Chains A and B, each alone.
Chain A
Amino acid sequence: MPVTEVQPVRIVAVNVEGLTARASSPPDHRETVFGVEGLRVSYSGKPALKDVGMEIYENHITAFIGPSGCGKSTFIRCFNRTNDLILGAKVEGTVLYHGQDLYAPEVDAVEVRKLIGMVFQKPNPFPKSIFDNVAFGPRVIGLGDSLGERVERALHRAALWDEVKDRLEENAYSLSGGQQQRLCIARCLAVDPEVILMDEPCSALDPIATLKIEELMQELKKQYTIIIVTHNMQQAARVSDKTAMMMLYEDTRAGTVIEFDETDTIFTRPEDKRTEDYVTGRFG
Chain B
Amino acid sequence: MTAQRAAAAARAATTLGTGSRRDRIAGHVFLGFLLLSVAVGLVTLGALVVDVLVDGVPKLGKQLLLNPPSVSPEKAGARPAILASLYLGVLIIAFSVPLGVGTAVYLEEYARKDRWYNRLLELNIQNLAAVPSIVYGILGLAFIVRGLGVGRVLLAGAIILTLVVLPTVIVASREAIRAVPDSIRQGAYALGATKWQVVWRQVLPASIPGIATGSILSVSRGIGETAPLLLVGALTYVAFNPSLLGAYTALPIQIFQWIARPQEEFKFLAAGAIIVLLAMLLTLNAFAIWLRNRYQRKW
Contacts and interface: CB of A to CB of B under 8 A. Distances in A.
Interface of A: 80, 82, 85, 87-88, 110-111, 113-114, 117-118, 120, 122, 124-128, 136-137, 139-141, 184, 187-188, 191
B297 A87 contact: no
B192 A120 contact: no
Contacts, number: 70
Given A87-B112, A126-B184, A118 B206 contact: no
B186 A126 contact: no
Interface in B176-209: 181, 183-194, 197, 201-202, 205-206
Nearest to A197: B190
Interface of B: 112-114, 181, 183-194, 197, 201-202, 205-206, 297
Contacts of B197: 140
B183 A140 contact: no
B242 to A, nearest CB: 41
Q: Is the interface of B mostly helix, strand, loop or mixed?
A: helix
Identify the 4 closest CB pairs spanning chains A and B, nearest first: A114-B192, A124-B183, A137-B191, A118-B190
20 contacts: A82-B190, A85-B189, A87-B112, A110-B193, A113-B192, A114-B191, A114-B192, A117-B190, A118-B190, A120-B183, A124-B186, A125-B187, A127-B206, A136-B201, A140-B192, A140-B194, A140-B201, A141-B192, A184-B187, A187-B191
Nearest to A123: B183
Contacts of B202: 126
Given A87-B112, A87-B114, A140-B201, A124 B192 contact: no
Given A117-B190, A137-B193, 5 more contacts: A137-B191, A139-B201, A140-B201, A141-B193, A187-B191
A111 B113 contact: no
A124 B188 CA distance: 10
Given A126-B184, A127-B184, A140 B193 contact: yes
